[in-house]
Amino acid sequence: MADDVHFTAKFPTKRMAADCLFTDQADRLLVLQPPYKTTWDIPGGMVERDESPRLAAQREVLEEIGLLVEPGSLLAVDWIPQTGDFTEIVAFLFDGGVLTPADIDRIVLQPTEVTSSRFVTLEEAGHLLDPEQFARVAAGFKSRRTPEAVYLENGVPPHGT
């Protein structure tokens, strides 16, 4: 048993994030402005210890916009390499679904997490989200219309996939 613990202690730990892609009935993407970033974001965030990515997405959505939503299908998984001080991360993108006008009226922004929200076209999102996240969101938007999720490395499908 002690040998197993010593052996597994050498394994790397990876950070994980889990986001939800929400649209309105006009197929516009819900984006959020966090107070601590210059770029916009989509609902979601970091996965906590012993938490599944799906539950993390659900928790983060509730924390950020006040909606208790069961995340839908997995749209994309993106491995993002280390950049600067940020270690590598595996990001999961789930389908949050289409929000009705009644759903949108129930959105309550958590001011410590989100200062404003709006619905934008995918093209507009390209000017608001950071480039890596936009690549993942665009791929997820596309895979939303297919029966399977897409695997990405730094926002791009690896050669041959």
Provide mean pLDDT across the span 25-46: 97
At 21 the pLDDT is 98
Distance, CA of 76 to CA of 140 (rounded, Å): 6
At 161 the pLDDT is 58
Cα–Cα distances (Å) from 6 to 1, 2, 10, 57, 131, in that order, read 9, 6, 7, 32, 39
Q: Are 142 and 155 in contact (CB under 8 A)?
A: no
Distance, CA of 107 to CA of 57 (rounded, Å): 16
At 108 the pLDDT is 97
The pTM of this model reads: 0.91
At 84 the pLDDT is 80
> The dihedral of CA 36, 39, 44, 48: what is its sign?
negative
Is it the case that residue 160 has pLDDT exceeding 80? no
Question: So where are the chain's domains?
Answer: 12-153
Neighbours of 80 (CB within 10 A): 21
Is it the case that residue 63 has pLDDT exceeding 70? yes
Confidence of residue 13 (pLDDT cuts 50, 70, 90): confident
CATH number of 12-153: 3.90.79.10
Q: Give the pLDDT confidence of 94-146 residue by residue, as tens digits.
A: 999 999 999 999 999 999 999 999 999 999 999 999 999 999 999 999 999 99
Q: Are 121 and 47 in contact (CB under 8 A)?
A: no
Confidence of residue 4 (pLDDT cuts 50, 70, 90): low
**DSSP H helices in the chain:** 2-9, 53-65, 101-105, 122-128, 131-143
